[in-house]
């Protein structure tokens, strides 16, 4: 199996972009150069803030999709390595989701 990476970039407008790839150096270079018409190409320059190596691309895709659903605060806790805050924010999200589902029942 081929290794893969999940990464978070900060764009010039302050937004975050989360992606995954099996060729990290090439993909990062593509982002920096604005090689493709994509989210980051219209928000150059971009800066690498976080990267995580995964066993294979399937794991990377799952992690990328998970992170993309997170709030900005949760992404920032991940990038800072603040596991305590990350857990707290996760509990807070689950509590809000449970409460919303009860109210909608």
Paired tokens of 44: 């150059």
Domain boundaries, the chain: 1-69, 71-105
Question: With contact defined as beta carbons under 8 Å apart, do 5 and 53 qualify?
Answer: yes
Residue 91: which H helix or E strand, with range? helix 83-103
Q: Of the candidates 4, 81, 7, which has an alpha carbon nearest to the alpha carbon of residue 46?
A: 7
The answer to whether residue 23 scores a pLDDT higher than 80 is yes
Architecture of domain 1-69: 3-Layer(aba) Sandwich (3.40)
The answer to whether residue 58 scores a pLDDT higher than 80 is yes
Confidence of residue 21 (pLDDT cuts 50, 70, 90): very high
Confidence of residue 95 (pLDDT cuts 50, 70, 90): low
CA distance 17 to 45: 12
């Amino acid at each position: 199996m081929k290794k893969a990476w999940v990464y978070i970039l900060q764009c010039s407008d302050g937004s975050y972009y989360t992606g995954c790839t099996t060729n990290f150096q090439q993909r990062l270079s593509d982002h920096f150069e604005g090689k493709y018409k994509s989210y980051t190409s219209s928000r150059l320059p971009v800066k690498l803030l976080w990267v995580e190596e995964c066993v294979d691309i399937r794991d990377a895709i799952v992690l990328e999709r998970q992170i993309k659903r997170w709030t900005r605060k949760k992404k920032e806790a991940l990038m800072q390595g603040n596991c305590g805050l990350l857990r707290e924010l996760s509990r807070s999200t689950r509590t809000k989701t449970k409460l919303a589902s009860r109210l909608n029942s």
